[in-house]
Amino acid sequence: MAIREIIKLPDKRLRLVSEPVKKIDAGIRALIDDMFETMYAAPGIGLAGIQVGVDKRVVVMDLSKKDDTQKRQVFINPEVTWASDEKSTHEEGCLSIPEYYEEVERPAEVKIKYLDLDGKSREIAAEGLFATCIQHEIDHINGVLFIDHISKLKRDRVIKKFTKAAKTAAKKVEA
Ligand code: GNR
Ligand code: NI
């Protein structure tokens, strides 16, 4: 097990469309272990493979409250099969856009089809925080970020801020 580096805006890899997992082998299981360790350490409630630089359609999640027993959830090749017309708004954040939070409107309820760790196909309904989080993670594996759902003015502002911060950090390393 190892904590992997979480890639941050404006890293272009966050815009990749991740590849479906063909076989759930030892490499995928090790990736999933590392993703949980990385997510808990951050801390966060969800993580997509591409956030640790791996463009495979793998998502881990744990929506349990701090100090409660862990509720690990793994979604391999997840897809939305149904979304409600009803929308709901939640404040979102992202480990790849640290310390930026904004309200995002999404379908209130969705149905998700995915493979579990044993490669078994499953379908599940999601609402509330679960619906928000799984849609946020499925966006990641399609190269979409939550800031793509907010106004262009706010999006451009946050991209500019992170681009500037990355340039300053690169200069410091040079010096
Ligand atoms: O830790 C996270 N919290 C969160 C809060 C509201 C909506 C979505 C999320 S996911 C985020 C971790 C992350 O960046 N996952 O991709
Ligand atoms: Ni995220």
Give the Cα separation of 32 and 113 in Å (integer). 18
Cβ–ligand 1 distance for 45 under 6 Å, the answer yes
User: Of ligand 1's atoms, which has the minimum distance to the CA of residue 136?
Assistant: 8
Q: How far is the CA of 174 from the centre of ligand 1 (A)?
A: 32
Q: pLDDT > 90: what percent of the chain?
A: 93
HEC per residue, 20-86: CCCCCCHHHHHHHHHHHHHHHHCCCCEEEHHHHCCCECEEEECCCCCCCCCCCEEEEEEEEEEECCC
Q: For ligand 1, atom 10, which residue shows the shortest CA distance? A: 46
Q: What is the pTM of this model?
A: 0.97
Would you say 42 and 9 are in contact if contact means Cβ atoms under 8 Å apart? no
Question: Among 73, 92, 104, 110, which residue has the most ligand 1 atoms within 8 Å of its CB, making it the best to mutate?
Answer: 92
Q: By three-state DSSP, how is residue 121 classified? A: strand
User: Of ligand 1's atoms, which has the minimum distance to the CA of residue 45?
Assistant: 1
Give the model's pLDDT for residue 91. Answer: 98
pLDDT at 170 over 90: no
Sequence spans of domains, the chain: 12-174
List, in order, residues 6 or more apart from 23 with CB less than 8 Å away.
none
Q: Which of 17-21, 67-71, 84-88 has the lowest mean pLDDT?
A: 67-71
The mean per-residue pLDDT over the stretch 116-125 comes to 98
User: Virtual CA dihedral for 37, 165, 170, 44, nearest 10 degrees?
Assistant: 0
pLDDT band at 1 (very low <50, low <70, confident <90, very high): confident
Give the model's pLDDT for residue 174. Answer: 79
Give the Cα separation of 114 and 71 in Å (integer). 17
Give the model's pLDDT for residue 171. Answer: 84
Q: For ligand 1, atom 14, which residue shows the shortest CA distance? A: 94
- Identify the active-site residue in 5, 86, 105, 137: 137
Give the model's pLDDT for residue 156. Answer: 98
Cβ–ligand 1 distance for 52 under 6 Å, the answer no
pLDDT digits (tens, 9 = 90+) for 142-163: 999 999 999 999 999 999 999 9
Q: How far is the CA of 107 from the centre of ligand 1 (A)?
A: 16
Average pLDDT, the chain: 97
Known catalytic membership, residue 102: no
Q: How far is the CA of 175 from the centre of ligand 1 (A)?
A: 34
The mean per-residue pLDDT over the stretch 105-118 comes to 98
Report the Cα 167 to chain-centroid distance in Å.
Answer: 24
The mean per-residue pLDDT over the stretch 46-58 comes to 98
pLDDT band at 46 (very low <50, low <70, confident <90, very high): very high
CATH architecture of residue range(s) 12-174: Alpha-Beta Complex (3.90)
Would you say 37 and 2 are in contact if contact means Cβ atoms under 8 Å apart? yes
Give the model's pLDDT for residue 59. Answer: 99
